[in-house]
Amino acid sequence: MKQKILLVYTGGTIGMVKDKIKNTLVPFNFDGLLKAIPELKSDELDLENVSIKSPIDSSNMHPNIWVEIVEIIETNYANYDGFVILHGTDTMAYTASAFSFMLENLNKAIIFTGSQIPIGARRSDAKENLITAVEIAASGKVNEVCIYFEDQLYKANRTVKVNTEHFEAFESPNYPILAEAGVTIKYKSVLQKKQNQGLIVHKNCSDDVAILKLFPGIKLAIIRSILNSAKGIIIESFGAGNASTNTEFTLLLSQKIQEGKIIMNISQCLHGKAVRGQYETNEPFEKAGVICGKDMTTESAITKLMFLLGLGLTDDEIKAQLQTNLRGEITN
């Protein structure tokens, strides 16, 4: 029986080919996909494609476009065995992380991939990334949102972009890779399917969020301004979740939390996590009641907060859910 896979094109470098007449890069015509990549032709595979209304550079990605893509998956969920989403690399980790929360009870593979060099260029990494992403989506061994890039399959909400110049563009700093592609694809972790649970699609992501990155000498006025700017704030603190012990800073955090702000602390470091009580400099967050985000990536933390704020929960429910491992985004 053929496996049906739907390619969803959102834009990005992977979708560019060279116009032989103008000698410029132009958006890829998916009608010619199998001509460009004959390896995708297979007796075991039925590959179809669809595009969002206006493909974009991923730097222009927005929650409204997340909803457009999610609705494509929702509409076609019963008709396909897996999905491959072609997406620009710059915000891929944000979109993939968001999808891990927006798609509850997911029982099929949703594989994000892209490329550092356009598919029409001679040294492009697009061809291998796309072929392998399709094979993984059709394997039946993956039942979650992932990113596939340069031989590695990553858990979506554990992934960050770390490089603009090499093919190894992504990393999963605090979680092992799910599979590695060599002569064969070696699956290191297989998520069990959820029995008798239908897909639940969440489409309301709040944009009432902000990120505050601490640095030595940051003015209290700047901190106050950012805390005032949104309902939910992610603080990127130093090392293992540390910050200045300045009393005014601690009092400001306490005041804003009392006013109803939801504030979570994560580490600026790629590897490791924010912890409670290890250093004296953890105390500002402890005393103020700031939530500890442990080893969540910035991309996962901010999209989880957007997702939870969009659910219409109470503040206490949001705070509890932020500290709960919903989709494997936190190491227990």
**Tens digit of pLDDT for each residue in 6-51?**
999 998 777 766 667 777 666 665 655 566 677 777 778 889 989 8
- pLDDT at residue 210, rounded to an integer: 98
Tokens of residue 87, six digits: 């997406």
What pLDDT, in 10s, does the model give residues 112-148? 998 877 766 666 777 888 999 999 999 999 999 999 9
Q: Do 3-201 and 209-322 agree at the fold level? A: yes
Higher-pLDDT residue of 180 and 196 is 180
Opening angle at CA 116, ends 90 and 15, nearest 5? 85
Q: Which CATH class is domain 3-201?
A: alpha beta
Q: d(Cα 203, Cα 103) in Å, to the nearest integer? A: 9
Domain layout of the chain by residue ranges: 3-201, 209-322
Is the dihedral angle over the CA atoms 90, 91, 97, 102 positive or is it negative? negative
**Cβ-contact 263, 284 below 8 angstroms:** no
**Cβ-contact 115, 124 below 8 angstroms:** yes
CATH architecture designation of domain 209-322:
3-Layer(aba) Sandwich (3.40)
Q: d(Cα 125, Cα 218) in Å, to the nearest integer? A: 41
286-295: average pLDDT: 86
What pLDDT, in 10s, does the model give residues 188-215? 876 667 766 899 999 999 999 999 999 9
Q: Is 75 a catalytic residue?
A: no
281-305: average pLDDT: 87
State which amino acid sits at residue 4. Answer: K
Question: Which residue among the candidates 13, 159, 250, 303 is catalytic per the annotation?
Answer: 13
pLDDT of 281 > 60? The answer is no
SS3 160: strand
In the block, residue with structure tokens 């500002």: 284
Q: d(Cα 293, Cα 285) in Å, to the nearest integer? A: 11
